[in-house]
Structure 1
Amino acid sequence: MEKEKDVWSFKTSDLVAIPNIITYVRFVLIIPFVYFFLAEQYIYAAICIGLSGLTDCFDGMAARKLNQVTPLGKILDPIADKVTLFAVVICMVIYVPMVLPILVTLLVKDLLMLIGGADLIKKRLTPPSANWYGKVGTIIFYFSVCLIVFLKAFFAYENMVLDLVLLSVTAASMLYALYRYGKIYFAMIKEYNESLKKTADIKNK
């Protein structure tokens, strides 16, 4: 279990750390993506979501390479993922209404992860960093969305079966990530409860 200061010791320098600046770009890209998508300018929308996906990969790499892994970054990164996902989900439901059940599954998964992360922070524990299965799920998500938008933008091609397959694979990868993160979450909670019990036993002696 990580120490309290690892979670709560924010520094002013964290705000301008390069990985966090990259994460800010992901928040900014949401606005033009939604605008271009709703305006049916799918090429520009695809560029925005593609850039968002690249920044999602680069912020973690930059944090490790530059040794700038910060508590703020650990919180901002998943929030940026969730907000971007929420924006894309709304647009995709407008575009392909029949995929709503699959997209709701993705939203539920991310909502559960947000609740779990908030619970860990409330207990002054550091939420786990992104692991390979989380990143793979994100990459598959961005690939699926970009492909669907690209086919419509450049070839005016729409295939409901293809859309459902791509989004189903995306949902499966993200649910697997939820399962793996869930195991980490419950292990941390178990360790936290055992630590509280030991502390209480010591005080009662």
Structure 2
Amino acid sequence: MVESPSKCKFTFIFFIIVSLSLGLVSFSLCIVSEIKRNKKEDLRWNGKLCHLPSSPAFGLGIASLVCLALAQSIGNSILFKDCCSGGKRNARFKIPIVVRILLSISWVGFGIAVILLIAATSMSKRQPYGEGWLNSECYLVKKGIYAGSAMLILVTVGTLIGSALLTMKNNKADQGHKIHAQTG
């Protein structure tokens, strides 16, 4: 059974909105994590060993990572799923070069944001005396790491949505140029 073009367009737009919403939630969680991260005043030092309490940024960072991963997965799935073809791959469909560039930027931004979020989030976990974060030393998340991740999330989701919209526009233009042969 082939889906109607209007149902396909609705599905496409619905998944774009879901991906955008998840990206904005991830962005917001990063901004809150930046505000809630451990500060220098939270560091306890007993002369030899350090201690940092757990920060609310730990849970917020994990939630941000999950939302970002979902946004990237959903956004890419709508790009590579040809919902109007009835399950058959359209052999003549080629991804335009602009869309390829935007997808590359999206994946690079996603990768860097994930690395920054994983490192910052793991530093926001409790660092007890004698254990610390790395080599028995305590580490603080530098100011701006979560904010930088938030900016990368905007770039990632923006380029992903842009490539999805360009793909949708390109498919619509391709459908308008089809010539039907006369049979008789």
Determine which structure has more spread, i.e. the larger CA radius of gyration.
2
- Both structures adopt the same fold (TM-score exceeding 0.5): no
TM-score of the superposed pair, with normalisation by structure 1: 0.39
Higher relative contact order (CA 8 A, sep 6+): 2
